[in-house]
Amino acid sequence: EDKVVQSPLSLVVHEGDTVTLNCSYEVTNFRSLLWYKQEKKAPTFLFMLTSSGIEKKSGRLSSILDKKELFSILNITATQTGDSAVYLCAVESGSNYQLIWGAGTKLIIKP
């Protein structure tokens, strides 16, 4: 059965810290891995990763995929209170855009 596992499930850090969120997966027909940030209702798209070892970066956020070890990490440097959110990892398996979702990591940044 396809599955996506995120860790930790929750994390509390202080402003300015660096955090690393993990996402491991087991899927039969991997196409891509996506990271989302969910603050209120709708998840907002962060990154899509398809190739191993190529870091994607957006400001203080970066992510990388390891297709051999079947995992991805999301790094956030110099965290701010606005980074507080649930971070979701999803894997697209197959050719029909359907995503398999992890349970999410709830990140709380304390001022």
Partner 1 sequence: SAVISQKPSRDICQRGTSLTIQCQVDSQVTMMFWYRQQPGQSLTLIATANQGSEATYESGFVIDKFPISRPNLTFSTLTVSNMSPEDSSIYLCSVGQKGEQYFGPGTRLTVT
Residues that bind partner 1 (CB under 8 A): 31-32, 34, 40-45, 48, 50, 88, 90, 92, 96-99, 101-104
In the bound complex, what is the minimum distance in angstroms from residue 83's beta carbon to partner 1? 19
CA dihedral over 8, 48, 63, 87, signed as positive or negative? negative
Give the span between the Cα atoms of 63 and 53, in whole angstroms: 10
Angstrom distance (rounded) from CA 103 to CA 4 = 8
How many angstroms from the chain centroid is the CA of residue 63? 8
User: How is residue 83 annotated by DSSP?
Assistant: G
Cβ proximity to partner 1, 31 vs 67, nearer residue: 31
Smallest separation, CB 103 to partner 1 (Å): 5
Q: Which is nearer to partner 1, 20 or 45 (CB)?
A: 45
**Minimum CB–partner distance for residue 16 and partner 1 (Å):** 28
- Give the residue with the Cβ less far from partner 1, 96 or 111: 96
